[in-house]
Structure 1
Amino acid sequence: MPIDDNLARYSDFSFATAVVIYAFALILLSAEFASLRTRALDALERTPTLVRAGTPVVTTTADRPGRLVEPPRRSRSDRLGRMGMSMVVVGLSAHLASIVLRGLATARVPWGNMYEFVTLTCAAAVLAGLIVLRRASLRTLWVFALIPILILLFVAGTVLYADAAPVVPALQSYWLPIHVSIVSIGSGVFLISGVASILFLLRVSYSDSSEESGALIRFVRQLPDSRVLDQLAYRTTIFAFPLFGSGVILGAIWAEAAWGRFWGWDPKETVSFIAWVVYAAYLHARATSGWRDTRAAWINITGFVAMLFNLFIINMVVSGLHSYAGLN
């Protein structure tokens, strides 16, 4: 089918719009993170009454029984954080619109080259973040999730960009929407897990520091508790691990249909298997006494690095049967 150039342009515009909105969201959430120390000091000066924001309470005093008392207004940092989260949702809407329009323009599933794969993976990472980072106490972690997402989107829109076009004959299979989408979603969730483990290592490394000053010390102390970060990395990996493993298995089935063998130790297959084994080792280490802390986190980060290596180095440098990057 012919390519719809108008829809392709709308897709590119939606992609650029999503990147700009994510950048504004990063600025707002960074401003909230920077003001955490001020917000904590302000909280100490408030009354200790536990009142949910936006809910009026009735107090009884000797002179004015039953007087309606309005709760304190939300802090400036909290408003910045809420605006940032709203921008993330709007950015994801534009992001998904870009993917849908790309598919309509090409009359196929829109993940047939590296540009489209990275776009889908980043969308999955943002959606995963909206689910696992929905609590206000974890909202500042969006600063560290959006940074790699924006970097990946920038690389996708510049270095990896490919014009809307039909996929090569080898990818014209019903396995493409199944295999690639599962791997992409799993990779997006692994991004959140990797960021959580990196921040966990920072939190543990400086949690016992006796220094009261220093930019790095203040930065680390504003992060959530190390146990929260560890649980976040573990739970997201538990979700992504079977997805990624299923993607590898389905890829092997597709390989048998396309090339007449289930497994041939192609570079892409090999590194994917290595990444899967590393994540399996992380889950095992996380459940083993004595390995639950920093050593398990390092294994998780190694798995994330293997995923990035598989995405960029294997696709762009190493030649193999999976060389479908779509680069000019």
Structure 2
Amino acid sequence: MFEFAPIAMAITTSDTKTSSYAKVNDAYLKLTGLKWENIRGKKLTSEGAAIDNPARDRRHRLLAEEGAYELEEVDIAYADGTIIPTLISAQRTVVDGVSFDVEVIVDVSARVRQQREIENALKTSARTDALSGLPNRACFDEVVADSVARSMLNDRKLALAFIDLNGFKAVNDTLGHAAGDEVLRTIASRLRESFRATDFIARIGGDEFVVLLDIDLKLAGDLQQNLQDAMERVFKPIALDGRLTYTGAAVGVTFLRPDDTPATFVRRADEYMYIAKTTEQRVAVVCFGQIMETGALPSRRTRRNETA
């Protein structure tokens, strides 16, 4: 029964320092990838599959003091070096005056993998806008902070486009929120199609999107026209229930400056976006605030009370 048990089992001698293999079953050999002829009588500290760590001594103390332990988390190394998470239970027994430890090892790698997949899914969900499928504000804040730090180390230029929709409130008011949601999904999809896979696109508010671009310095002069062309593609009319719906956008664009923080970088793009808003064009792109001197900018609260 021992040899053919479906669960990995091993019998070892009990001495902490000289503990060695006395017997293992086929399931143990399959789990560890070890060969019996290579481990027979060998010390666990030299040939054992369990990764040596301080917990090993604690497990031996439990066996010496209490005669058993249950469901201890132990990583074991497969013969090729692959790490396998397991749960090990053991009991000390005496046969003909000789003390042995009987170990039962359960492979929990599938459970651990499933748990990690769930954790990763939760992390992804926390960083993703459910409606558009784009990264959300929390994710954008992390990415822009990291990008600002890294951009100081290379010869490329970091640019940020802050996009605020024009005409979106009218869609919600006349066609309903379901239509508004479809407009947002369509715009998100078109943004993905219009920019490179290396560009970071996020929805950071109800009708606000951002695009973080890593620009070759030699091509920086073409950025405004390229963005204008991209926005014209993104904000083509959208067909909803047999009718065409027109939206547009005010886009503020800035390059990262040497003394910028993530906050000043984003705030400046937002301010330039408002300058684009004042042009009252359906699609307007303002780069680098060329007309900043035309007057003071109303506050974001004032802008949010507008119905554009």
TM over 0.5: no
Q: Which one has a larger percent strand, Structure 1 or Structure 2? A: 2
Q: Which has the larger radius of gyration?
A: 2
TM range (shorter): under 0.3
Q: Which one has a larger percent helix, Structure 1 or Structure 2? A: 1
Bigger relative contact order (CA 8 A; separation at least 6): 1
